[in-house]
Structure 1
Amino acid sequence: MKKLFTLFLILSGLSALAQTSISGKITDQKGEPLPFANISLEGTYDGASADLEGNFTFSSDETGPQMLSVTMIGFIPYQKKVELNGEAILLDVKLEESINSLNAVVVTAGMFEASDEKKMVMMKPMDIVTTAGAGADITSVMQLLPGANRVGEQEGLFVRGGSAQETKTVIDGIIVQNPFFSSTPDVPQRGRFNPFMFKGTAFSTGGYSAQYGQALSSVLLLNTMDKQGENSNFNVGLNMAGVNASYTHKGWLTASAGYNNVAPFFGLTKTNLDFETIPQGFGGSLTINENFKNSSLKVYSTYTDGRSGINLPSYDEENSTYLFSNRNTNSFTNASYRSSWADGKWVMMAGASYSNNQDKLKIDQLAADRFDERSQGRLVFSRLFGKENGSTFTFGGEFHDITLSNIYNGYKLKIDDQYSSLFAEAEFYLSSKLAARFGLRGENSTVIQKSNMAPRLSLAYKAGKYAQFSFAAGRFYQNPEKEYLYLDKTLDFENADHAILNYQVIKNGKTFRTEVFYKKYNHLVSENVGHFDPNPYRFPSGELSNSGYGYAQGFDLFFRDETSIDNGDFWVTYSFLNTKRKFRNYPVEAVPHFATKHNFSVVYKQFIDAITTNVGATFTHTSGRPIYNFNDTFTAPEETKAFQNLSLMASHVRQFGNSFLVFYATLDNVLGRKNIFGYRYSADGRERYEVKPLMYRTFFFGLNWTLGELNGRSREAELDF
């Protein structure tokens, strides 16, 4: 949507004021526009990406003869020498298809992508922050896409019958140890990262690349923004949960700080939980993003300190509670370096990160600690073979040094693991209609002293000018959950085999996608116990083994229309899931307590040009989840009632000279439906209580003020508004 894209440009403050304006249109040989083609001046940082109609514009302060380059995956690169002398340059460029025409074939079965390198754009940062009911949280929006289950009492992505532990979050190729704020029983936590940090979001529903591992079900791939221009700006935000401020200097350095306290938010609406200490905390971050000739460096570092306390029902006695309090400190640093040579035929990507997370807990009258630390390094090389066929070979490796520990009631449990992997992947085009990708990944974990080898395969076939079939299959490994490794380090990897068939059509701003899948689980950890305890926070008991197993199968539907309604955008998703597994302390193979058979959502957004306001609505329906009682035999389980939610949002933009004010408000669960997420039981299993959302209905509002340089695209945005 043009208006939403314009708003994104305003908030991002892109481009620098320049002497020469360069604009034009990019099309194929038949005159069809090529959105998201990349246009740049070689040897400089100046350039742009074509919009949905193939149009582009940017400015440069370079002078004299320069080489202009136009590239797009699936097309032969175009080059033209231009003279920059302050006079506007207008170009019409026609690109010639190469054998791997992206308009025809994209090897991405099982993946929803949103990067500027793929034509099948699904999610952009503005999509995330303007989706009602998601609270500008990346994971919450991903839950509205096909394949994801909505689980309201726990943070994380639950994908196609998989638990939250089966999905990993990856930033610039690096696994994030703590992507969410510290967990509290039955209170889901937000993700730690701002959507505007990322230029692309790819949500895997299975069958993902050999470059990634340690996830039985899914990976959420986040790619950080490249450096955008040389401008400086100051930003401050104020809402019902806190205040934050940031400063960007010359486009390469950004520092931010914030304080949060949800007391004003809780004061407006009654909560279903009794907080002893209102959640509050502070934090800051530092970002470095710099371009060099044929290379770039990105560094992101953050620190947060937060605390909360909640009185949770115990049911040992009538109306009895116990205190669960937490003081959390978290630090995370992620650095990535990218370099290319040999006229772009070789690309090297290196990355490193360090994370440290500590929870100081008080559970009833007992003190406890949770601690985890991860250092990792990653090195990847890619070789492009020929500009016309676009075949690539990628290989590399990674190393992780991981420490996990829990201290409770005087007992200390600890894990030290040195996890390493090597991988290689080739993508090649057999014809203009058929593409293939084959990968192989090997892993080793010292904590269990085991190794594995995992093959991956993807195929794509052109079924028409705008349609394609895709197929993906492979094996995926993951270490057992830490609670099991604390007790038994002789366990083996858990694994899952994926098979996915996808059909997709993208035409005139409309996307239709359907996918069928089958997933088989092997070597899941199973506990040999004499009874079933439904407490999800219990510590394992009984003899452990890798005798567990299971399956998940079903289909997804997705439709999105960005053009039929002027300045409007909507999408509809539906997922059907049939799954069972024997794992953890389940006595028999059964539907997991976090799995739902039917998931349906509708998202609608409308930009109202006359008042520069965006409004949106989201409706979700999720069928009931199974309820397993204390000592349950799993023969006829209950189900929770269906989860339903209608949410609204609105944001309004005002410009005052060189500053922009954005006012926003959200209303979640408009109808006040009393959803529940299951039950918790007393120690003897005789009493139980409902697991409720934090609030049945919530209202939230705030404002964001940006003061910075007006230039280039910002001026275009000003005129557009």
Structure 2
Amino acid sequence: MAKYIRWIFLTMLPTIVNAQGLPKDSAGKAPQDTVVRGTSRSLKQVTVNAGAFEASDKAKGASLTPMDALTVAGNNGDLSQALRSLPGVQQIGDQEGLFVRGGTSDETKQFIDGTLFKYPNYPAVPGIPQGARINPFLFKGILFSSGGYSALYGQAMSSALILESVDLPEKSSASLYLFPSNQGAGLQHLAKDNRSSYGLGFNYSNQSLYNSLVPHVPDYFLGPAYVEGNANFRIKTGRTGMLKVYTVWSHSAVGMYNPDIDSAALRSGYQVKGDNFYTNLSYRNSFGEHWKMETGLAYSYNKVNTIRSLVDESKNTVVLPELPFLAKNASSNIGSDFAQARVVFTRFLPGVQAIRFGAEQFYTKDKGYTNDSAITLTDQLSAAFAEGDIYIAHNVAAKVGLRLEHTSLLKQWSLAPRLSIGWRLSEESQLNLAYGIFYQEPLNDFLYHNRTLSLSQAAHYVLNYTRRAHNRFFRVEAYYKIYDHLVKLLPQSESNGNGYAKGVELFFRDKKTFKNMDYWVTYTFLDTKRDYLNFPMELKPGFASPHTMTIAVKKFFPDISTGVNVSYALAAGRPYYDIRFNNGWQLYDEGTTKPYSVVNLHLSHMLSLFPKWRHKDFSGFALGVNNLLGTKQVFGYNYSYNGQHRVPIMLPSSRTYFIGFFMTLGIDRTDDFINNNL
């Protein structure tokens, strides 16, 4: 879609809070050692207890805003890519999604106002990550919990990305994008009484021109092209009520040829077209001083049509009956309906304590075909949950939760306890401990063929120490995860796989030492092995690197209204395997890729095209280069059928370039950009 359009917007806007959710005052500035005891304040980004703490996702996770993560160089306006600059996340360059602490991308789930956002990315393309469908500017807060998250959320074995949407815009505004490969327009209208608003948006992206100018390894014959339209409506109901509706529709089309690994005279074709419709309705209200209700409804329809082909030099389809060519002409067309209803009640108790309880219902139906085989799958997943905030002492708090689920498809019950304890050591530092059991249904690709699989599960043990003072933040965290009932192919799927993941993570952020500069450094150590899918034994998964480090630097020069963003990511090599079936799965070859190393650079310059419209005009130029040094990245290898040949999985091009112009009318972000020092 319009990921490069968003990139311009993102590189030119300010960081609002630090990556751990440092609160801001009404002017957008960080408070200086202000302590307020015994009271709660609802701030722009998150709800916090000022001067106190919470043993919760917001205390343990990395709480941030869209600007905080999305102004990191190299993310292309994609929220998942932006979060890879945080500890615990792997640097994956050949797939979309978040790979967290030894977990696959499907083990991380995204939630919008409490409801599951089931299809966050455009349909997958082999070896080329696809962008996110959602606009990050819909959210006033982003909470990334890499483990031990709340009982209010489920069906995610590794981590949860919890998104809270904006209530009302600051002002009415309009935006327009006109670029060679991307066009778009947007409108946000705020009513005069500041009690309701509506918005519309449209974006179109076609990368054909760019790919013709910059050499790419795939030979694209279709797109890549992405179209998106969205609308939102928000209204205050009464003194404390808020109703929000958001709808988005998107279409994508990608088609490409690559040399066939089993024949030098043939090429393999891959074409995927995707259509997605998503709508979300949320409502919250308070009843008296002690009760709060939050409800949510979500529905999405997702259709993916995939065609694999084998062609000759003239692009004529070739059908060969022998292996391995027999399965290289295939197609699938699957439509998926997903719906969710959710309600959460909160009862506030004396002493800043509370009890939350609620229930939710998920409905899933897939229908279509794959390789001429009809597919129909229907599932009803019901869940009930409860948790309480308990202050054991003035400096010790606990969050105790329990989640009960039942799936009609697998006919299974699960009971998941969650526990989180926080011990405030001083006004600036805290120790956190978390434990939880997390369940997840197997992927539908496995359930299409086997309905007797079991729920996969993971146990999390997390311990961390945090220190926050004077616009600096430090965190060190250790964790241990145990996986059970993972899907294993024998060659029929069974739920007898297992695994583990353990590691240590470091995070340091400093917005104080250097004027107008914000930087952070992360380091992740990961030790993980799995016996799942076609692994013949317990092995390190191919997406896991034992050592990962990132450095993100944002520097703003107010005299020339220019910002410079630089990011550097370094990761040790990942394992790769040649595993083939021969009276059982056997390992024929293995190795480790070269280390991953990438430098990204983004520059932005702000200006005003209409001086008479001061405080209503925000424009600028931006340019960037991803993988500035052109480092050769190898993410793994594809093997031929007989194992005699292998082809490296690499970036489509050594570098990615962008230059563009953005303009919006209605809101001037210049003061925010300068005051928050990027």
- TM interval, shorter chain, is 0.7 to 0.9
How far the C-alpha of 1:435 sits from its partner, in A, is 0.4
Distance 1:103 1:487, change over 3 A: same
Q: Relative to structure 1, is the Cα distance of residues 397 and 74 closer, same or farther in structure 2, using a 3 angstrom cutoff?
A: farther
Q: Is the 8 A contact 1:460 1:471 kept in 2?
A: yes
User: How much does 1:53 deviate?
Assistant: 3.3
Aligned: 1:219 with 2:164:
no
Q: Quote the residue 2:313 is aligned against.
A: none
Say whether residues 1:316 and 2:262 are aligned partners: yes
Q: Is the 8 A contact 2:404 2:414 kept in 1?
A: yes
1:296 matches 2:242: yes
* 3-state secondary structure, aligned to 2:121: coil
Does the 8 Å CA contact 1:105/1:434 hold for their aligned counterparts? no
Deviating more after overlay: 232-241 vs 646-655: 232-241
- 1:421 maps to what in 2? 383
Note if 1:380 corresponds to 2:347.
no
Q: Is 2:496 the partner of 1:547? A: yes
Are 2:177 and 1:237 equivalent residues in the alignment?
Answer: yes
* 2:289 aligned with 1:331: no
User: Once the 2 structures are TM-superposed, how far is the Cα of residue 408 of structure 1 from its aligned partner?
Assistant: 2.2
User: Does residue 342 of structure 1 match 2:288?
Assistant: yes
Instruction: Determine the C-alpha separation between the residues in 2 that align with 1:369 and 1:137.
Output: 27
Structure 1 residue 647 and structure 2 residue 600: aligned? Answer: yes
Q: Distance in 2 between matches of 1:111 and 1:554?
A: 16
- Secondary structure, aligned partner of 1:624: coil
Give the superposition deviation at 1:326: 1.8
Distance (whole Å) between structure 2 residues aligned to residue 249 and residue 400 of structure 1: 33
Unaligned segments of structure 2, at least 5 residues: 1-8, 43-47, 192-196, 310-328
Q: Does 1:167 align with 2:108?
A: yes
Q: State the Cα distance separating 1:616 from its structure 2 match.
A: 0.8
| 1:409 shift after superposition | 2.4
State the Cα distance separating 1:404 from its structure 2 match. Answer: 2.2
Give TM-score, length-normalised by structure 1. Answer: 0.82
Task: Give yes or no for the alignment of 1:663 onto 2:621.
Answer: yes
User: Of the candidates 39, 54, 63, which is equivalent to residue 76 of structure 1?
Assistant: 39
Alignment-derived partner of residue 361 in structure 1 = 306
> Relative to 1, partners in 2 of residues 1:224 and 1:719: Cα closer, same or farther, differing over 3 Å?
closer
Letter aligned with residue 173 of structure 2: N
Shift >4 Å, 4+ stretches? 7-12, 71-74, 100-106, 632-636, 713-721
Residue 247 of structure 1: which of 184, 187, 195 is its match? Answer: 187
How far 1:180 moved relative to its partner?
A: 0.5
Displacement of 1:362 in angstroms is: 1.7
Alignment of 1:472-551 (within 5 A): 472-528=434-490, 542-551=491-500
Counting matched residue pairs gives 625
CA–CA separation in structure 2 for the residues paired with 1:129 and 1:313: 35
> What is the CA distance between 1:175 and its match in structure 2?
0.6
**Aligned residues of 1:339 and 1:348 also touching (Cα < 8 A):** yes
The 1:8/1:274 distance shift into structure 2, 3 A limit, reads closer
Could you tell me which amino acid in structure 1 is paired with residue 512 of structure 2? T
CA shift at 1:612, angstroms? 1.1
Distance 2:676 2:108 in 1: 41
Q: Secondary structure at the match of 1:628?
A: strand
Partner of 1:618: 567
2:420 is paired with a residue of what secondary structure?
Answer: strand
TM superposition shift of 1:54: 6.2
Q: Distance in 2 between matches of 1:167 and 1:635?
A: 31
**Which amino acid is 1:577 matched to?**
L
The alpha-carbon deviation at position 475 of structure 1 amounts to 0.4
Q: Gapped runs of 5+ residues in structure 1? A: 1-6, 15-33, 39-47, 56-70, 80-97, 115-122, 529-541
Which whole-Å deviations, capped at 9, do the CAs of 1:496-547 have from their partners, x for residues lacking one?
Answer: 110000000000000000000000011112122xxxxxxxxxxxxx233221
The DSSP-based 3-state class of the residue aligned with 1:590 is coil
Residue 536 of structure 2 corresponds to 587
1:569 paired residue among 501, 509, 518: 518
Aligned partners of 1:105 and 1:331: how far apart in 2? 37
What SS does structure 2 have at the residue aligned with 1:143?
Answer: helix
Aligned partners of 1:579 and 1:263: how far apart in 2?
40
CA contact (8 A) 1:442 1:451 kept: yes
Partner of 2:209, secondary structure, is helix
Q: Distance in 2 between matches of 1:192 and 1:719?
A: 31
**Out of 225, 235, 246, which is 1:280 matched to?**
225
1:54-133 equivalences in 2 (<5 Å): 75-76=38-39, 102-103=51-52, 106-108=55-57, 111-114=60-63, 123-133=64-74
| 1:646 positional shift | 0.3
Deviations 1:619-644 (A, max 9, x none): 00111111111438559830011110
CA separation of 1:339 and 1:517: change in aligned 2, threshold 3 A: same
Question: Are the structure 2 counterparts of residues 35 and 216 from structure 1 closer, same or farther at C-alpha, using a change threshold of 3 Å?
Answer: closer
1:43-101 residue CA offsets vs partner (Å, 9 max, x unmatched): xxxxx46631369xxxxxxxxxxxxxxx999632699xxxxxxxxxxxxxxxxxx9x76
* Structure-2 separation of matches of 1:469 and 1:151: 31
Is 1:136 matched up with 2:77?
A: yes
Does the 8 Å contact 2:253/2:273 carry over to 1? yes
- Determine the C-alpha separation between the residues in 2 that align with 1:714 and 1:613: 11
- Whether the 8 Å CA contact 1:110–1:502 is kept in 2: the answer is no
Q: Mark the CA change 1:336 to 1:424 in structure 2 (over 3 Å): closer, same or farther.
A: same
- In structure 2, the CA distance between the partners of 1:73 and 1:172, relative to structure 1 (3 Å rule), is farther
Q: Which residue of 2 aligns with 1:177?
A: 118
Determine if contact 1:128/1:137 at 8 Å carries over to the other structure.
no
The whole-number CA distance in structure 1 between the counterparts of 2:41 and 2:546 is 49
- Is contact 1:396-1:423 (8 Å) kept? yes
Please give the alpha-carbon distance, in whole angstroms, between the structure 1 residues aligned to 2:11 and 2:636: 43
The aligned counterpart of 1:64 is none
Deviation of the 1:653 alpha carbon: 1.3
Deviation at 1:709, TM superposition (A): 6.2
Instruction: For 1:648, give the aligned amino acid.
Output: L
Structure 1 letter corresponding to 2:370: Y
2:406 aligned partner = 444
1:15-39 alpha-carbon deviations (Å, 9 max, x no partner):
xxxxxxxxxxxxxxxxxxx97477x
CA contact (8 A) 1:358 1:372 kept: yes
Cα shift at 1:382:
0.8
Which position in structure 1 is the counterpart of 2:335? 371
Q: Is the 8 A contact 1:109 1:207 kept in 2?
A: no
| CA-CA distance at 1:716 after TM superposition | 8.3
Residue 149 of structure 1 aligns to a residue whose secondary structure is: coil
**What are the superposed Cα offsets for residues 479-504 of structure 1, whole Å, 9 maximum, x if unpaired?**
11212211111111111110000000
Identity of aligned residues (%): 32
Is 1:403 aligned to residue 365 of structure 2?
A: yes
User: Aligned with 1:430: secondary structure?
Assistant: strand
